[in-house]
Structure formats: C-alpha cells, structure tokens
Amino acid sequence: MRYLVIVNPRWLILDRDGVINRDSDDYIKSPEEWVAIPGSLQAIARLHRGGWRIAVATNQSGLGRGLFDLETLKAIHGKMIRAVEAAGGRIDAIAYCPHRPDEHCRCRKPQPGLPLGLSDRYGFSLGNTFFVGDSRRDLQAAWAAGAHALLVRTGNGAMTEQQMGDDWPPTPVFDDLSKVADYLLKREHP
C-alpha cells in the first residue's frame, strides 16, 4: 500500500521595496528603476528550494497618485519574477495596494488587508507565516494579521530598527533577506 502525504506548504510574505529591491523616495516607476538588493534573489531561490512558498505584499500608491499605470506595475513585477526565476526561485503570489494614504483603505499597510487577502486566497494560516519588512507599517500589518514579523535592515530597516521601543512586540532583526533565509532554513534543519 502506498500513501500520498500532503504537507501544508510554508508561506513567507515579503514586502517588495527595501526588502527585495532597492527603495526610492521617488517611487519605483518603471522596470528600469527596479534593481534587486544584492543577495535577495538568491535568498528567495534558497527558500523556494527549501520548500517555502513566497508571496509579495506591497503598497503601490504610485498607481493612485498617477505616477505609473497598471501595465507599468505589471511590467515591474514581470521583471522581478523573471529575475527570481533566473536565480532559481519562484514568487507564488503578489498582492498590492494601489491606494493613496489619504484614501484610508483596508489593504494599505499598516492595515492587515494584504496578508489577510493572501491567506484567504491561498488557504494558509497566518499564525504559521513569517512577514518580512523594512518599515514599521510592514511590521504593523504582520502583527495585525497574526503573522510573525521579521525586520531587515535594508531599505528603511536600519532607521526602523532605531525607532523600535519597548512597546513593540518582540521582532527579530536581520541584516538582509539572505540572513532571513539562513535563519528560516536553519530553524527547520538545525
């Protein structure tokens, strides 16, 4: 007799700008402006090979501000997906919020709409999910959704780390996404 064992996949949610690619105060408005942070693509590939499913949850108010259109955002994400695949990885899902901060939507981080939507759509538990970000609003979205928040020092992360206070839930801090991958992969295979 043979059995098929179905294992619930492990999900990792990543912020985009400042975690996977370099951030810009002027927004990432074209595929040419999207530049991967050194080591991030390889980290995603290692996690993918280690059995993790990767989702991206990103605020993209540049859409609502009219700085770029949906086709341009699709082209930016297409470049990111191809770059991850060229490194041997995979991005399984992308969720984005197109709203400006003044629209007070439920999907814009720090609100938990993006991780909650990913969880609902793909059927995974946020209680078993890690959410990697570089800003307080990323961490707040993770905490509000019930996910485990991880902070990276890339992007705005070093500044965010300096703002951490005793009123913040305990949050592990890593130099970059590569160090997050080391940590998550080591947890499973000590």
| Tens digits of pLDDT across the chain (190 residues) | 554 444 457 999 999 999 999 999 999 999 999 999 999 999 999 999 999 999 999 999 999 999 999 999 999 999 999 999 999 999 999 999 999 999 999 999 999 999 999 999 999 999 999 999 999 999 999 999 999 999 999 999 999 999 998 889 999 999 999 999 999 999 865 4
In the chain, how many domains are there?
1
Of the candidates 157, 153, 162, the one whose C-alpha atom is nearest the C-alpha of residue 137 is 157
Residue 4 resides in a domain: no
Residue 148 resides in a domain: yes
The residue annotated as part of the active site, out of 17, 23, 138, 176, is 17
Its domain, for residue 27, covers: 15-188
Residue 117 resides in a domain: yes
Residue 111 resides in a domain: yes
Is there a catalytic annotation at residue 102?
Answer: no
Query: In terms of DSSP H, where are the helices of the chain?
Result: 40-49, 61-64, 70-86, 113-122, 136-145, 157-163, 177-188
What Rg do the C-alpha atoms of the chain give, in angstroms? Answer: 16
Domain of 108, CATH number, reads 3.40.50.1000
Residue 9 resides in a domain: no
Residue 10 resides in a domain: no
Residue 104 resides in a domain: yes
Residue 142 resides in a domain: yes
The residue annotated as part of the active site, out of 15, 23, 138, 176, is 15
Is there a catalytic annotation at residue 69?
Answer: no
State the pTM of this model.
0.93
